[in-house]
Amino acid sequence: MYSEEVLKKLYADMILVRLSEESLVEPILSGDVKCPVHLYSGQEAVAAGIGAVLNEKDSAFGTHRSHGHYLVKGGSVKEMIAEIHGKSTGCSKGRGGSMHLYAPDKGFLGAAPIVAGTISLAVGAGMASSIRKDGTVAVSFFGDGAVGEGVLYESLNLAALRKLPVIFVCENNLYSTHLHISEIRPNDEIYKIAEPFGITSFRVDGNDVLEVYEAAEKAVEQCRNNNGPVFIETLTYRMRGHVGPDDNIQGTHTDIRPAAEVEDWRQKDPIERLKKYLLENGVADVEELDLIEREIQQEINEAYVFTNDSQLPPKSELEKYVFSK
Amino acid sequence: MPKMNMIQAINLALHEEMEKDETVLVMGQDVGVNGGVFRATEGLSVKFGKERAIDTPLAESGIIGSAIGMAIAGLKPVAEIQFSGFSYLTLGQLEGNAARMRTRSRGQFTCPLVMRMPYGGGVRALEHHSESKETYWAHTAGLKVVIPSSPRNARALLTAAIRDPDPVIFMEPKHSYRAFKEEVPEKKETMEIGKAEIVREGSDLTLVSWGAMFHLTKKVVDQIQSERKVSIELIDLLTISPMDSATINASVRKTGRCVIVQEAQKTLGPASEIIARINDEVLMYLEAPVKRVSGYDVVMPYFGREKMYLPTMERIRRAIEETLEF
């Protein structure tokens, strides 16, 4: 029921995100990368499933934890690694860093770390689409923490009112920074916040890439048919700390999630689940999947060579880019 | 040349730019069908349709956030905030996204939007409806802050703001909206953002002001010059940021004396920056300390006591005389 091409793309995208993220662990711990980095490991199915139904003209907006969104939207891995290292060859020429990734030619119109900070930007891109009638869709990725911010509700209202082609994707990984969802919300059914606005909303298993993909297909079809926005809550879990590999800020350890809970989610690893599906259904064999992985690892290794060969932005450019001239 | 007031001139600029460029649109509370509380957007909905004169819910952060999204998607939104006091809710969007989009993306993205809003006192309102907080925006690298003072320069500067590739905060002195009319050329006109205007040349003292205060200041200058032989150079700042200190400092170098009149609170108002830049470059040419006439460091009083806050002709006159006689 899924084409072989789609299934292999989903697998390759998730591998690309996972291996990129894990490649950053050592540079973060060694201090090569000093700026806070929020790793996406564990949540790959959300980015991959949504990204697979979008084209380059569709726009996507992200958050502080957006390496995955950038990559599945087509952003270059070597420009991302260079950007995180602050090099002038990065996707924002070493000015933005991990939390400000951009790939305008691929429709990734930007990540920003202020929680809920880009949701209304996606609504604006949706308004531009509806004014131009160009059939494009705007996707807003945000986390469960953003559900506490007022601008989300302003955005839902405006998108519903004007039937805008916007897909709101809430990645509920159960923790906003370090607070469990039960500490910050009276109930845990986030998708229901969109219902009073008349927005089609549902919840999916965010660690099942096929379930995410199916939801995304439905959502994008509804948007392209001008039938208004869609809200998808994806239940998922980050396998790394809120920030850095293990919340190890200045030698401290603040990942206080119960070890049993982490282990429980490890058993639901989205990549292992798809791998099992591919093997059991004869879509691919072990050798083929290994080859995909090796090729991607090679691409990432090259990204580090590229990064090491790159320079920091020139000092003379300090005042550049504040205004057009 | 037709005579018009500032609101009519702003309305004219919006009509002209929307006609010229189909990516230009207006959005905000009541800007569409109603035509805006001060009537700045009157007629746009009828002429250009609801898709380009967009009525939005009351949601300042959402309005400006959406405007940013539209701007980076290639449109040129002109968003209206009904009173500048409501714009504080947009600070997160403007500081967090619009102002730094160009730097953050190293020029890949620009954010060509205009946030228009009436500001300032003298209309017998209350705190949020009367304040002059241009400093908030001027303190943010990446935002341009423009304040017109007359119908003619309002039309020319708003046109320039809409065409500008960077985000512009366009603060309209609402006390001047209907205070007077002046001739506005039928031919389209723009002015350069970032340029102060020497409205009258003089050699004894430099007077800098902007917005509604400019007219009050000009009145005092006219009065003094009718009484005694003194030559005052009158500068209308027009752009708060980036600030044209070249024009001001060249003038102070010539006159050796300077008075600044601002409606904003005293502490860290634009006058503070003007004085700092005079110190940086032309201190040794000064014949007297630079004086500023400003509001006070208080919450803008309710209408009954509004006049206690605002600079008066008497305070301005005293500052000029003390500076001349120092």
The tens digit of pLDDT for each residue in B4-40 reads: 999 999 999 999 999 999 999 999 999 999 999 999 9
Which pLDDT band holds residue A321 (cuts at 50, 70, 90)?
A: confident
> Where in chain B are the domains?
3-183, 197-325
pLDDT at res. B13: 98
Can B3-183 and B197-325 be said to share one CATH topology?
yes
Cross-chain CB nearest to B62 (options A95, A102, A158) = A158
Report d(CA A226, CA A316) in Å as an integer: 48
Q: What is the pLDDT of residues A278-318, one digit of tens each?
A: 999 999 999 999 999 999 999 999 999 999 999 999 988 88
Lowest mean pLDDT among A85-89, A95-99, B167-171, B209-213: A95-99
Interchain CB contact of B166 with A (< 8 Å): yes
Distance between CA atoms of residues A18 and A103, nearest Å: 19
Which B residues 95-154 touch A at CB under 8 Å?
Answer: 96-97, 101-110, 141-142, 144
What residues of chain B, 189 to 248, have a C-beta less than 8 Å from chain A? Answer: 242
* A275 C-beta neighbours (distance < 10 Å), count: 18
Nearest partner of A71 among A17, A35, A111, judged by Cα: A17
Determine what percent of chain A is predicted with pLDDT higher than 70: 99
Q: Are B242 and A323 in contact (CB under 8 A)?
A: yes
Q: Are B72 and A123 a contacting pair at CB < 8 A?
A: no
User: Tens digit of pLDDT for each residue in B243-287?
Assistant: 999 999 999 999 999 999 999 999 999 999 999 999 999 999 999
pLDDT tens-place string over residues B109-151: 889 999 999 999 988 888 888 999 999 999 999 999 999 999 9
- Report the CATH architecture of A4-308: 3-Layer(aba) Sandwich (3.40)
A95 band by pLDDT with thresholds 50, 70 and 90? confident
Contacts of B161 (CB under 8 A, 6+ apart): B114, B144, B146, B168, B170, B193
Amino acid at B110: T
What phi, psi does B78 have (nearest 5°)? -115, 105
What pLDDT is attached to residue B302?
Answer: 87
- Angle A156-A158-A161 from CA coordinates, rounded to 5°: 105
pLDDT of residue B22: 97
The whole-angstrom separation of Cα A54 and Cα A75 is: 13
pLDDT band at A116; cut points 50, 70, 90: very high
Which H, E and C letters describe chain A, residue by residue? CCCHHHHHHHHHHHHHHHHHHHHCHHHHHHCCCCCCCCCCCCCHHHHHHHHCCCCCCCEEEECCCCHHHHHHCCCCHHHHHHHHCCCCCCCCCCCCCCCCCCEHHHCEEEECCCCCCCHHHHHHHHHHHHHHCCCCCEEEEEEHHHHHCHHHHHHHHHHHHCCCCEEEEEEECCEECCEEHHHHCCCCCHHHHHHHHCCEEEEEECCCHHHHHHHHHHHHHHHHCCCCCEEEEEECCCCCCCCCCCCCHHHCCCCCCCHHHHHHHHCCCHHHHHHHHHHHCCCCCHHHHHHHHHHHHHHHHHHHHHHHCCCCCCHHHCCCCCCCC
**pLDDT recorded at residue B126:** 84
Question: What is the rounded distance in angstroms from the CA atom of residue B98 to the CA atom of residue B142?
Answer: 8
- Verify whether the Cβ–Cβ distance B62 to A120 is below 8 Å: yes
**Average pLDDT in the B211-216 region?**
97
Q: Which of A59, A87, A164, A323 to mutate to test the interface with B (most CBs of B within 10 A)?
A: A323
Q: How far is CA B46 from the centre of its chain?
A: 28
ipTM: 0.88
* Distance from C-alpha of A91 to C-alpha of A96, rounded to nearest angstrom: 8
Instruction: Name the band, by pLDDT with cuts 50, 70 and 90, for residue A255.
Output: confident
Give the pLDDT of residue A318. 84
CB within 8 Å: B109 and A102: yes
- B197-325 belongs to which CATH class? alpha beta
In the beta sheet, which residues pair with residue B236? B197, B209
Which three-class secondary structure string do you get for A196-251? HHCCEEEEEECCCHHHHHHHHHHHHHHHHCCCCCEEEEEECCCCCCCCCCCCCHHH
Residues 6 or more apart whose Cβ sits within 8 Å of residue B141: A322, B99, B100, B103
Superfamily of domain B3-183: Thiamin diphosphate (ThDP)-binding fold, Pyr/PP domains (3.40.50.970)
Please classify residue A216 by burial: count the beta carbons closer than 10 Å to its beta carbon, then call 0-12 exposed, 13-18 middle and 19+ buried: buried
Who among A124, A161, A322 is closest to B73 (CB)? Answer: A124
pTM for the predicted model, two decimal places: 0.93
Q: What is the pLDDT of residue A41?
A: 97
Mean pLDDT of chain A: 95
What is the distance between the terminal CA atoms of chain A, rounded to a whole angstrom?
Answer: 54
pLDDT digits (tens, 9 = 90+) for A154-203: 999 999 999 999 999 999 999 998 899 999 899 889 999 999 999 999 99
- Which structure tokens are listed for B231? 């030559």
Alpha helices per DSSP H over chain B: 6-20, 44-48, 60-72, 91-93, 101-104, 134-138, 151-163, 212-227, 245-255, 270-282, 306-309, 313-325
Average pLDDT over residues A21-32: 94
Per-residue pLDDT for A252 more than 80?
no
pLDDT of B226:
96
Q: How far apart are CA A109 and CA A101, in angstroms?
A: 8
- The Cα A126–Cα B75 span in angstroms is 12
At B150-208, the pLDDT tens digits run 999 999 999 999 999 999 999 999 999 999 999 999 999 999 999 999 999 999 999 99
- The reported pLDDT for the residue numbered A207 is 98
Q: Which residue has the tokens 């907006």?
A: A61
Residue B102 vs residue A256, higher pLDDT: B102
Q: Concatenate the DSSP letters of all residues of B133-189 into one string.
A: -HHHHHTSTT-EEE---SHHHHHHHHHHHHH-SS-EEEEEEGGGTTT--EE--SS--
For tokens 């504080």, name the residue: B88
Domain-wise residue ranges, chain A: 4-308
CA-to-CA dists, residue B4 to B7, B51, B147, B182, angstroms: 8, 28, 18, 6
State the pLDDT confidence band at B85, using cuts at 50, 70 and 90: very high
- In this structure, the number of other CB atoms found within 10 A of the CB of residue B178 comes to 13
Classify residue B122 as left (phi > 0), alpha (psi -120 to 50) or beta.
left
Confidence band of A77 (pLDDT split at 50, 70, 90): very high
Residues of B belonging to the active site: 129
Q: How many angstroms separate the CA atoms of B64 and A124, rounded?
A: 9
Least confident window among A81-95, A214-228, B170-184, B297-311: B297-311
B304 touches chain A (CB under 8 A): no
CA of A125, closest CA in chain B: separation in Å?
5
Q: Which of A110, A125, A158 comes nearest B56 by C-beta?
A: A158
Partner-chain contact B144 A323, CB within 8 Å? yes
